[in-house]
Amino acid sequence: MNRKNIFVVMIITLFFAGHKFQEKSQNIIGNFNKEKDLFLAHFDCKTDVDDLHSVAGVAAILSHSQFDGVKYHAVAGAYGIQEGLYVPANELFEAAFGNNWSDAHSDFNRALEEVTGLAMNVLKDGGRVWIAEAGQSDFTYTLVRNIIEINSSVDIKNGIHVVQHSDWNESVTTPYKLKFVKENCSYYKIPDGNVAGNGSPGFVTNQPVDLNKLIGDENIRKVWKLAVEIANKYNGKENRYNNKAIAAGGLDFSDVSETCRIFGYDYIKDVDQFFEIFGSKRN
């Protein structure tokens, strides 16, 4: 083969190699592989209404075109042993996630069955399950135990990744259940999402935020509006936790810090930067 032909072959090889790399990179978002993985967002909704703002924040992320094809499912009522009343927000979950959510508060067994089926399908095909623990780990514990009972050969340590940001969430998880999850899953404890500048995004502000100006997607704007309305309705009511930032007219979606870590957006600093990135639908 002469030099000219060798050069042509090299160019063609580099072209297809680059094309293959581009296709691969488009399927990878942070730690998440769109082709294989499953994203689970577990919300306790008890008794702090910040979970409602977090639902809207996660929905805003998933609405962007980069996340097209991401397999996801949310769980409401994934709470632990904390006292206080639950915050009902089924309308919000439906608006945010459509049919891709389960109600563990009203029907725990059905929710467990639904999420187990989704997780098993992904693990069977060599994918990983990424759990944003926007609450306690009691539901995650039962999910993992259920998977093991169905198929004890599943590689849980490499297959299930749990991200938690809150010391308080850990403190009101049933202790032996938290211990099990930490020992058997890949468990990541990240800095608290209530504070900016600590290594995680700080998604709390006492200042009012004009969501109409910041959010370009009409559907996501409606989700945020609904989240704010329901949060204001239940914040501090009937001995529920009184979220001071929300009471002041601000926002608290601190539980979105886990989602940002999973998808590689943990460099986001604060609320303002979040809406700069996820405030309008990207092409």
For residue 24, tell me if it sits in a domain.
Answer: no
Q: Specify the pLDDT at position 282.
A: 43
For residue 156, tell me if it sits in a domain.
Answer: yes
For residue 19, tell me if it sits in a domain.
Answer: no
12-24 pLDDT tens trace: 444 444 444 444 5
Q: Specify the pLDDT at position 98.
A: 98
HEC secondary structure over the chain: CCHHHHHHHHHHHHHHHHHHHHHHHHHEECCEECCCCEEEEEECCECCCHHHHHHHHHHHHHCCHHHCCCEEEEEECCCCCCCCCECCCHHHHHHHHCCCEEECCCCHHHHHHHHHHHHHHHHHCCCCEEEEEECCCHHHHHHHHHHHHHCCCCCHHHHEEEEECCHHHHHCCCHHHHHHHHHHCEEEECCCCCCCCCCCCECEECCCCCHHHHCCCHHHHHHHHHHHHHHHHHCCHHHCCCCHHHHCCCEECCCHHHHHHHCCCCCCCEHHHHHHHHCCCCC
Percent of the chain past pLDDT 90, that is, above it, reads 89
What is the band of 26 on the pLDDT scale with cuts at 50, 70, 90?
A: confident
62-106 pLDDT tens trace: 999 999 999 999 999 999 999 999 999 999 999 999 999 999 999
209-223 pLDDT tens trace: 999 999 999 999 999
Range of the domain at 96: 33-278
For residue 13, tell me if it sits in a domain.
Answer: no
pTM: 0.90
For residue 5, tell me if it sits in a domain.
Answer: no
What is the band of 125 on the pLDDT scale with cuts at 50, 70, 90?
A: very high
Q: Specify the pLDDT at position 159.
A: 98
Our CA angle for 156, 35, 147, nearest 5°, is: 25
Number of domains comprising the chain:
1
For residue 26, tell me if it sits in a domain.
Answer: no
For residue 23, tell me if it sits in a domain.
Answer: no
**Among 196, 168, 167, 162, residue whose Cα is nearest residue 41:** 162
For residue 25, tell me if it sits in a domain.
Answer: no
Q: Specify the pLDDT at position 19.
A: 45
What is the band of 11 on the pLDDT scale with cuts at 50, 70, 90?
A: very low
Q: What is the CATH number of the domain that holds 127?
A: 3.90.245
What is the band of 25 on the pLDDT scale with cuts at 50, 70, 90?
A: low
